[in-house]
């Protein structure tokens, strides 16, 4: 099996997580961000992640991949209950995190930006959607302060460092993907409980954080 991804992409992180959690081997291939032809040839549109299954067929959509692998290999792991408060936190945090993360992704050294054209493709697409990266970066102090407060609000929702609700669930897939992306943002204050969860999930899923290249 092979998983086509971008290194920065939180949806790709979601799909990657289940392979690490279940110790299922998977080959990773990073596509250039401006490569439209390959994903279109596989699934009819430019998306990632895309799983190439054992039979050669292709499957897009991160949570479809998660459910496919979780049910195919051994007993399902994501059997825990969801927490409505966690869903609300993710919703409330989503827009401001996107404004913090996206301009920094554009400047980072990811394999999907191996050519200047691929990086510029990302910049053009994302600035058309959210506005000037420079403008968002100019408000970094306030944005980071708000995110730090939201992480303090998150801390009491995390029951265990190996499962946010006490038992692995889809909430873990969504939460770790967000926290991993936020690890790219320098200056965020991480409450101990959140940092322990973030670091433990990185180990469980075998997915690197972005702290070493935070900006």
pLDDT in tens, 100-135: 999 999 999 999 999 999 999 999 999 999 999 999
pLDDT value at residue 114 = 98
Fold topology of 2-72: Glutaredoxin (3.40.30)
Please tell me if the domain spanning 2-72 has the same topology as the one spanning 88-213: no
- Closest Cα to residue 180, out of 207, 159, 162, 142? 207
Looking at the structure, give the CATH architecture of the domain made up of residues 88-213.
Answer: Up-down Bundle (1.20)
- Closest Cα to residue 207, out of 166, 179, 170? 179
Count H helices and E strands in the chain, helices first. Answer: 9, 4
Q: Where are the domains of the chain?
A: 2-72, 88-213
Where residue 5 falls among pLDDT bands split at 50, 70, 90? very high
Per-residue pLDDT averaged across 75-104, rounded? 97
Note whether 207 and 180 are within 8 A (CB). yes
Where residue 152 falls among pLDDT bands split at 50, 70, 90? very high
Distance of CA 125 to the CA centre of its chain: 19
pTM of this prediction exceeds 0.85: yes
Where residue 67 falls among pLDDT bands split at 50, 70, 90? very high
Whole-angstrom distance, CA of residue 121 vs CA of residue 157: 38
pLDDT in tens, 153-200: 999 999 999 999 999 999 999 999 999 999 999 999 999 999 999 999
What single DSSP character describes residue 115? Answer: S
Note whether 165 and 83 are within 8 A (CB). yes
In the chain, pLDDT over 90 holds for what percent of residues?
Answer: 100
pLDDT in tens, 10-61: 999 999 999 999 999 999 999 999 999 999 999 999 999 999 999 999 999 9
pLDDT value at residue 167 = 97
pLDDT value at residue 3 = 98
Per-residue pLDDT averaged across 70-87, rounded? 97
pLDDT value at residue 200 = 98
């Amino acid at each position: 099996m092979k998983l086509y991804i971008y290194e920065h992409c939180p949806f790709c992180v979601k799909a990657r997580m289940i392979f690490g959690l279940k110790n299922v081997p998977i080959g990773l291939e990073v596509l250039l961000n401006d490569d439209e032809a390959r994903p279109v040839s596989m699934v009819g549109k430019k998306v990632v992640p895309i799983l190439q299954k054992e039979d050669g067929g292709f499957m897009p959509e991160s949570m479809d991949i998660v459910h496919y692998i979780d049910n195919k290999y051994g007993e399902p792991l994501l059997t825990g209950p969801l927490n409505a408060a966690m869903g609300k936190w993710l919703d409330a945090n989503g827009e401001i995190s996107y404004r913090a993360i996206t301009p920094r992704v554009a400047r980072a050294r990811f394999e999907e930006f191996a050519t200047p054209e691929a990086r510029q493709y990302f910049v053009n697409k994302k600035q058309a959607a959210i506005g000037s990266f420079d403008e968002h970066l100019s408000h970094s102090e306030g944005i980071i302060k708000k995110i730090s407060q939201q992480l303090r609000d998150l801390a009491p929702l995390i029951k265990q460092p190996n499962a946010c609700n006490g038992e692995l669930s889809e909430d873990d897939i969504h939460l770790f993907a967000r926290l991993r992306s936020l690890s790219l943002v320098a200056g965020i204050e991480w409450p101990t409980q959140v940092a322990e969860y973030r670091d433990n999930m990185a180990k469980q899923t075998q997915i690197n954080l972005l702290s070493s290249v935070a900006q």
